[in-house]
Structures are given as C-alpha cells and as structure tokens.
Structure 1
Amino acid sequence: MTSRGALTMLGLCTAVLVFCGLYFARSILAPVAFSLFVVAIVWPLQRALETRVPRLLALVVTLAVTLLVVTVLGYLIVWAFGTVGRWLIENALRLQALYMQWTDWLEEHGILVTSLLVENFNAGWLIRAVQEIGGRLHGLLTFVVIAFVFTALGLLEIDIAGKNIESLRNKEAARTILQASTQIADKFQRYMLVRSAMSVLTGLVVWAFALLAGLELATAWGVIAFVLNYIPFIGPLVATVFPTLFALVQFGSWQLAAIVFLGLNVIQFLIGSYLEPRIAGAALSVSPFLVLFAVFFWAFLWGLPGAFIGVPIVIAALTLCEQLESTRWIATLLSGRERL
C-alpha cells in the first residue's frame, strides 16, 4: 500500500472513530454543544446586567430568562398538540367514518387493511409505544437538566476562559481563537434573531391561512408552525403534514386537503427559502445542501437536539475554517455565497 493510500485509510478510520464517539457519547456531548450555543446567545444579556447588578445576580437573572423561554416554548407545543388531540377525541365518530370509508376503498383494490392492522397494531404494540414515548420524554428532560447545568457553568467561567486565552504565549493563536469565538457568537445571535422573527412570521401567516381555509384550531396550527420552525426542514415538514392530515379528517375530501397542503408548502417556501436568506444576509449564508445534510446527520447522531443544533454547528465550523488560510477554501466552497 502506498503512503497516500495509507493516509486515506487512516483518515477514513479516524472519521469512523470520531462518528462513533459522537454517537455513543451523545448523552454528554449533545447537552454540552447545546449549552455552548445557549451561552453564546445569552452572554450579551448577562454582560449588560453585570453593569447594573452584582455578577451572581446577573447570572441568576440570565438563567431564569433562559429557562422561562424554554418553558414557554415547551408549554406552547404541548398545548397545541393537546388541543389537536382533544379535537380528535371529541370527533371520534367522524374519524371512524373516514377510516371505514378509506378501508372499504383500499379493500376494493385488494389491500386488506383490517388484517394488516390486526397483525401489526395490538396491545403489545400499544404498550411498547407508550414505553417508547415515556423513555423519550425522560431522555428529553435529562437533556434539558444537563444542558442547564453546563450553561450555568459556562456563564460562570466565560470571563476566566477569555483571560486564559489572552495569556497564551502564542499571541497569534490567542488572537485567532478570540476572533473566531467572537464571530461565532455574533453569528449565533444573528441566527437565532432571524430564526425567531421568521418563526413568528410563519406562525402568523399559517394562522391566517388556516382561518381563510376554514381549518379548525387555527391558533394551534399557528403555534405549531411557530415552534417547529426552529428545527430546519424537519420542523416545517411536520408543521405541514399534520394540518394536511387534519384537513382530510375535518373536510373528508382529499382535494381540500391537497389545497391545504399546497398552501402551507407555499408559505414555508416563501418564508424559509426566499425571505429568510435575504434577511440573514451573507454572514450566515450556507449551502442549502449542507444545511439539509447537517440537520439529518446530527439528528441521526443526537436525535431531536441534534436536528436543532446541526445548523449552528455548521456555522461554527465554517467560521473556524475562515480563520486559517489553509482551510479558508472549505468555507468558500460550502458557503451559499456566489464568489466573483
């Protein structure tokens, strides 16, 4: 084997080991990555508070505000899906009639839905589903607690870390690290500001569209679109499919459901693919392919938190690549900006 082939094999083995490490250590690495992202966003608030109140009080207020925002978002999504669930229970007869209608149509075409349901959806499946949901909720709660602890520690030590970097003997390396950290924090803050504004706009437009279309629970669909828009691609997809299925149950017509599906997709496309990139500007410009890959790749490694944090990880990685001449070409290649 040539030296070049050996280096290639070594690189592949290293990549596999890194991916395995990221996957098996996800219970720690995912909360740490999320907490670093949160620290970068809320640090300006703590810094502003420290000019008016003692440092410890500023930390407590910053953490309280952060926890309040997370709690409100969690409450909104639980309320919205709970509202939809209650509507489905109250309209069980309508749902049953639609089920019988589609079952008869499928069985006329040779698809025995009833036997398939009996074979695959039984009491054991229901118990496993409940256990799976319970396990995921427990895992999500554990993730939030660990991330909150790391966020508190990060806010406590951010000043110390900055001074330690400044004291490095290699002043050029210290300057590069501090400059990259500052740029990453600025981009994270801009990313969340733009994402929040677009999420609010998406929620309002979806709410208005649901009202115009005669879709019940318009407020719930607007809230779902608002909260899930924070998760690129996956969130908007869920916020589009669920109202479409609901429209199928409410109207009993696949044509009207298709109109709802088309309208929601137009909204998501105009806001997410046209308006948001222009507001975000060139600083956050990332290849759409890379964004899609990052969302699904990190979702595969770390689950739902990975889907949320995937794009910020890409932004941080590209910003680091921009700092060094030897890796600047990577940032240029993977950015969404057209170079002249």
Structure 2
Amino acid sequence: MDIRTGDRDTAPRGSAPEALPGLFEAGGWAFAAQVAICGIFLIVFVAALDLARPVLLPVTFAFVVGWMLGPLQVRADRSGVPMLLTAISLWLLVIVVCNGLVMLLSAPVIDWVDKAPEIGRLLKERLYFLNGPWVALQDIRNAILPEDQAKSAGLDLITIVQPVLSVATPALGQVLIFFATLFFVLLGRSGLRRALVVRFDDHESRLRTLRIWNDIEHQLTSYLSVVAIINLIVGLGAAIIAFSVGLPNALAWGVLAFILNFIPYLGAVIMELILLGVGLVTFPTLTHALAAPLLYLVFTTLEGHFITPSIMGRRLTLSPLIVFLALVFWTWLWGPAGAFLAVPLLIVGLVAIHHIFPKHEPNLPG
C-alpha cells in the first residue's frame, strides 16, 4: 500500500524490484556467467604458469631472444646466407655473450664468497650502531619462542647449502632447455611462423597473425637494442664510479650494472644496496662507503630523466604504471627471472592486443 495515497500496490508478490530488472533476465545471467568463466580461466591460467615455471621460463626466454634476433635472420636470408648457418652463428653468439658475462662476474663472486667470514665480522664492526635494535629483536624472539626452539632457529651450514643446491640443480636443467629451445626457434623461425598463419582459414585472420608476429619482432628488437645501448652507458658509468672511488673489480661492477639495469626500478635499487654493502666492507669510514652509492644514484637519476627519454623517444615509451604492475606480477610469479621478462612480455601482450582489438578513433567535429 502506498502510504501517501492509500492505494494498494498492484505488483504481484515475489516479483523483482523495478530498480534491478536486468539482473533476473536471461541476458543478465548470461553476462554474469561469462564474467565467472573468465575469472575461473584467469585463475587456472596463472596457476598453470606457476606450476609449469621450470619449463615455461626457459622456453619463454628462448622465444623472446629468438624474436629479438629475427630481423638479423631476415637480413641474412636476403643476403643468401643458408638458414642453418645463420641459426648456428646466432646461437653460438648468444652462448659466447652469456659465457663472457658469467666469466666476468664469477671471479669477484668467488672471491667474496671465500671472504664471507671476514666480511661478516667487518660488517658487524661497521654497523655497531644497529646493535641496540638487533638486541631488542633478539629479546622479542626469545620472549615468543622457547629457548630450545630459538636455538633450533639459528643458521648452520646445512640450512644454507640445501636451499642453494635446490635452486642451482634445477637451474642447470633450465639453462639446457633455454639453449636447446633457442636453437630450434632460430632454425625453424620461418616454418613456425608459416604454421601459425596457415592455422586460420580466412585471409584476414592470416594477415593479422602475420602482422602480430612481425610487429612483435620489430618492437622487441627496437626496444631491447635501445635498452642495451642505454645499459651499456650505465655499465660504463658504474665502472668509472667504482674505479674512481677505489672499489675493486671495476669491470665487474660495470657488467653487473649493465645486467641489473634491464630490470626497471628494482635493478637500480639492488645495485645501490650492493654498492653500499661492498663499500662498508672495503672502506674504513662510512663517508667513503657512501660515495659510490650516492654517485651511482646521481648518475642513474640523470640517465632516467635525460639520457633514456632522449634516446628512446616517444615511440618506444611505455606507461610507468603498466611497467611497474607487469614487473610486480612477473616477479611474484617467476622470481628474478620474471623481472627480466616483465617488459618484453608486456610488449608482446600490448602488440597482440593492439592488433586483435584495434582502436577506432572517433571523428570529433570541428
């Protein structure tokens, strides 16, 4: 009954409110079902990526590197070089570059591992001002855990070696999968592209697939080659900074900065922390130890605001928010290796979306 007029409500009992008429219609339920199916598929897809990481990670790396080297294969093919010779040459080039980077970094790492007990003692002496907070944390731990559990929570050699072996042993298999997949990707690039194109029946779908493949190769090659040049400048600057402040192995610092700078945002932060830690061990004063991190911070700030925008241009720039979210997602899913793949996979996804869902700009009047 309407309170204002005294009339009875003529709507039948059990009918849906007029404010939500579409919710109980067939179209509304169909839309809700589609959203639920898409959500379930997304969850299952992410879970599959996580479970298949030992295989998908090196295979994805191989495809990214193969796409990046695709234009070189095209030029070699146009010059009359046999495909097998091109694939073997590029494959050996990747092996040589990876081996060179490992050799440049392995000697300093082995040296620092041998000095681990001395480094720990020096850090404890240099960071004496943190003894108070550290003692407070230990008191809190002793108050929460019984004494026998607190002792069992300490570190020993076995607890350190076991995680290292659990990571290093699968990593060797993943390296073999990467190089094997990369060789077959380079060898069968044209055949793989042709097989993907002929899967579609209509002419428009075939052209779209071919455009996606070619655009992915072009964008990845353009982006990663320009980023490699920028990172080479960053590595050279890091080597000069390390040499000028007196850090040992200046060339290794340049190589490390070159590699870490492929990770947006996090790479520079990791480099700063490593420079600070080594500076605290190497130099007698805190001021001298802060010299290299501060100089590197100034250099990377200039690089991020002036060098990179001037070299990259507007054509290759990506939204910082999208890059950060991609970095967070792939690092969470695949760890440090996912951080290196975040931007290349983002480029692949954006290229595919651009061709599958093209934008139609409206014709605005006046």
TM-score range normalised by the length of the shorter chain: 0.7 to 0.9
Cα distance change of structure 1 residues 173 and 208 upon mapping to structure 2, 3 Å threshold: same
Query: Would you say 1:130 and 2:155 are equivalent positions?
Result: no
Aligned pairs, number:
324
Counterpart AA for 1:10: I
Contact 2:193–2:213 at 8 Å: present in 1 too? no
Relative to structure 2, which stretch is displaced further, 112-121 or 147-156?
Answer: 112-121
The residue that corresponds to 2:145 in the other structure is none
Moved more, 276-285 or 241-250: 276-285
Deviations 1:49-98 (A, max 9, x none): 44444332222222111221222222223234334445x45x92x75255
Equivalent AA in structure 2 for residue 157 of structure 1: G
CA contact (8 A) 1:22 1:29 kept: yes
Report the more deviating stretch, 227-236 or 21-30: 227-236
* Identical pairs, percent: 25
* Partner Cα distance (2:122, 2:87) in 1: 56
Q: Show the 5 A alignment for 1:1-340.
A: 2-3=28-29, 4-50=31-77, 51-85=79-113, 88=115, 92=118, 96-100=121-125, 102-103=127-128, 106-107=131-132, 111=136, 120-123=153-156, 126-165=157-196, 167=198, 168-324=200-356, 326=357, 328=359
Distance 1:100 1:164, change over 3 A: closer
2:5 aligns with none
**TM-fit CA distance, 1:185:** 0.5
One-letter amino acid of the counterpart of residue 27, structure 1: P
Residue aligned with 1:111, SS? helix
Q: Is the 2:71–2:218 contact (alpha carbons within 8 Å) kept by the matching residues of 1? A: no
Structure 2 CA distance for partners of 1:134 and 1:163, relative to 1, 3 Å: same
Moved more, 111-120 or 224-233: 111-120
The Cα of 1:261 is off from its aligned counterpart by: 2.4
Q: TM-score of the superposition, structure 2-length normalised?
A: 0.77
In the alignment, is the contact (CA less than 8 A) between 1:81 and 1:220 conserved in 2? no
Structure 1 pair 236–80 and aligned structure 2 pair: CA distance change class (3 A): farther
The CA RMSD measured in Å over matched residues stands at 3.0
Deviates more, 1:14-23 or 1:150-159: 150-159
Q: Quick check: which one's helix share is greater?
A: 1
Work out the CA distance in 1 between the residues paired with 2:96 and 2:251: 22
Per the TM alignment, residue 239 of structure 1 is displaced from its structure 2 partner at its CA by: 1.6
| Structure 1 pair 204–53 and aligned structure 2 pair: CA distance change class (3 A) | same
Distance 1:100 1:144 in 2: 40
With the length of structure 1 as denominator, give the TM-score of the two structures: 0.83
- Unaligned 5+ segments in structure 2 are 1-22, 143-149, 362-366
Contact 2:276 2:292 in 1 (8 A): yes
| Helix, strand or coil at the partner of 2:315 | helix
For 2:195 and 2:134, how far apart are their aligned partners in 1?
71
Separation in structure 2 between the aligned mates of residue 17 and residue 270 of structure 1, nearest angstrom: 43
On the 8 A contact 1:321/1:328 being kept in 2, the answer is: no
